[in-house]
Amino acid sequence: MPLLPQTLKEMSNEVSSLTSHDAEQAEMMEEMCLIVDENDNFTGTMSKFECHYRGGTRHRAFSVFLFDKEGRLLVQQRSSSKITFPGVWANTCCSHPLDISGENEDPVEGVIKAARRKLEQELGMPAASTSKLSFHHLGRLEYSCRWDSDWIEREIDHVLVAIADAEISPNKNEISSVLWADSAEILRMMNGEGEWKNETIAPWFRLIWAHIIGDQVATPEDLLTRSSDEIKFCGEVNMEGTSMSPGQHLLETLSGHRDRVEEEIMASLAMMDHERLHSAMTHLFKGGGKRLRAILPRLVGEALGGANEGHYTLGASIEIIHNFTLIHDDIVDKDPIRRGLNAVHVEFDEATAINAGDAMLALGFEILAESENIPQEHLAPLISTIGGMVQVVAAGQQKDIGFESRDGVTEEEYLDMISGKTSAMFETCAKTGALLANASSGEIENMSKWGLNLGLCFQLMDDLIDITGDTATIGKPAGSDIIQGKMTLIAIHAKKSTLEMPNFEMAFGDTECTSEVLNLAVQELFQSGSIDYAKKKAMHHHSIAHDCLDNLEPSDALNALRELTDFQLIRIN
């Protein structure tokens, strides 16, 4: 992709509609914002245009909540001249710290200084007044929300609270209306009641009110006693502040492909004419599921503009082979449940399960070779890539088994193991989907990187869900990784902790431990920071995955890939 423009003139050439906007607002698109990683660490600068155009880039932002001494919040309606989110109602002041002295250093001090600057510029509060405001840093929130096909917000938003009876003189180029609203009025705003029925409320305002401030704030003074260092992850949301991950768009996109790929899978499995073996091969598919891996090659093909019917055969092949690995993995791990059903070796027997898995592996390659929709020139690299994946998955599973008999496993060793056992499947889905779409070598490499980091995030979050979820939600016994002595990143971190964790030590590797001990063990994992540590690692790979998607042109398929990237994170939140 070409580099995005850096000057206003170049911006106008890139986006013809920009020249039709208010000149003052268009000029501010040249301001340099602060780019941050998933932990809010500064990584560089980009123009405001680049941060908000098309795919956007994560940047630091702030939202001011200014209450008067009667407990009313100053809310504003953004001017219709605004390029992004014009005319929406929002909290007192929302903007970005810039790459200027005082705002590009300490994160909290930087957003406070930026808040003073914007309160003067937007609301006409003189510097003599803003300098006296005492800001309280309440917390941070990450989200993204699309306004239209060109403009998007992707930011880590610092929430600042202040209490003062302020005199304001709104800048009409920034603000259309203002209102001092009590909590009852804010509730009517959020619910769209009365005169608010046809008004649009900013999604970040909704998110902050729901997740950080809370609907039941007695007085603004209560907020001054609260603060959090955690970044609340909300993923991609719609204009109502409702999560889109996995939301209607993703589900609708998947439903458009699921029946087609399901038909391909079941027709392929029907090639096995041995009744008992066929029943064992189809057993796990009866547990339903969204068929994410099966549909993924097709979505990648669509996002790259080269989707074809062969992508469904490719997806069916990978899904069948994936289920082969699950059948054998459940035997090795002695897991009795998979997707809410008895594991295949429980429903039938171990010998049948092994034979079913072997047949599925062979069948996965056979349907590729016999497909009329797979061009001959792509067949060899597809088979080679999928075959390599099977080897890497097997090696990853063997490493996982080896970890159980070792006293110590390093973080690097664990990440290497899941790169094979879990991530290789996602990486292969993305790589082969791009290859079959006749993508360039650079595009194939980019999508492979996306798939790898998606898989790493998926497994790290799956480890968290195993401990913090419940059997009904995750389809297998909650906490099974602990009692089976699995050396996940959580366990590796916990074993290095200086905090005494008697219940964790008692439960780890003890399949007979009581639910009471297991629950106490989970509490200790929270207290030690082990769960938070694993979540931050997952967020790191989640961020890399989104960066890869930034290289694609906007499309419905790209939106689905973004929502898929957020899928596990939303489950844990």
Q: Which of 390, 329, 397, 392 has its CA nearest to residue 363?
A: 390
Mean pLDDT for the stretch of residues 482-502: 91
d(CA 381, CA 388): 10
Range scoring the smallest mean pLDDT among 133-142, 203-212, 232-241:
232-241
- Find the angle CA(423)-CA(427)-CA(432) to the nearest 5 degrees: 150
pLDDT for 10 equals 47
d(CA 89, CA 75): 7
% of residues, the chain, pLDDT over 70 = 91
Identify the helix (H) or strand (E) that includes residue 155: strand 152-163
Q: How many CB atoms lie within 10 A of CB 299?
A: 27
d(CA 204, CA 232): 12
Given a cut of 50, whether residue 474 has pLDDT beyond it is no
Residue type present at position 313? T
For the record, the structure tokens of 167 come out as: 């005199």
pLDDT for 16 equals 43
Question: What are the phi and psi torsion angles at 31 (to 5°)?
Answer: -60, 145
Given a cut of 70, whether residue 218 has pLDDT beyond it is no
pLDDT for 151 equals 86
Identify the DSSP state of 76.
Answer: E
For the record, the structure tokens of 401 come out as: 């088994």
What is the distance, to the nearest Å, from the Cα of residue 396 to the centroid of all Cα atoms in its chain? Answer: 25
Question: What are the phi and psi torsion angles at 376 (to 5°)?
Answer: -60, -35
Per DSSP, the three-state class of 73 is strand
Residue type present at position 448? S
Backbone conformation region of residue 370, classed left if phi is above 0, alpha if psi is from -120 to 50, else beta: alpha
d(CA 95, CA 52): 12
What is the value of pTM for the model shown?
0.64
What is the distance, to the nearest Å, from the Cα of residue 522 to the centroid of all Cα atoms in its chain? Answer: 24
Given a cut of 90, whether residue 343 has pLDDT beyond it is yes
Residue type present at position 334? K
Name 452's Cβ contacts closer than 8 Å, sequence gap at least 6: 419, 423, 424, 426, 427
Given a cut of 70, whether residue 142 has pLDDT beyond it is yes
pLDDT for 473 equals 46
Domains of the chain in sequence order? 8-237 (3.90.79.10), 248-572 (1.10.600.10)
pLDDT tens-place string over residues 5-50: 344 444 444 444 455 566 777 788 889 999 998 889 998 999 998 8
% of residues, the chain, pLDDT over 90 = 62
Task: Indicate the burial class of 452 (C-beta count within 10 angstroms; 0-12, 13-18, 19 or more).
Answer: buried
Per DSSP, the three-state class of 212 is helix
pLDDT for 11 equals 45
Q: Is-contact 54 31, C-beta < 8 A?
A: no
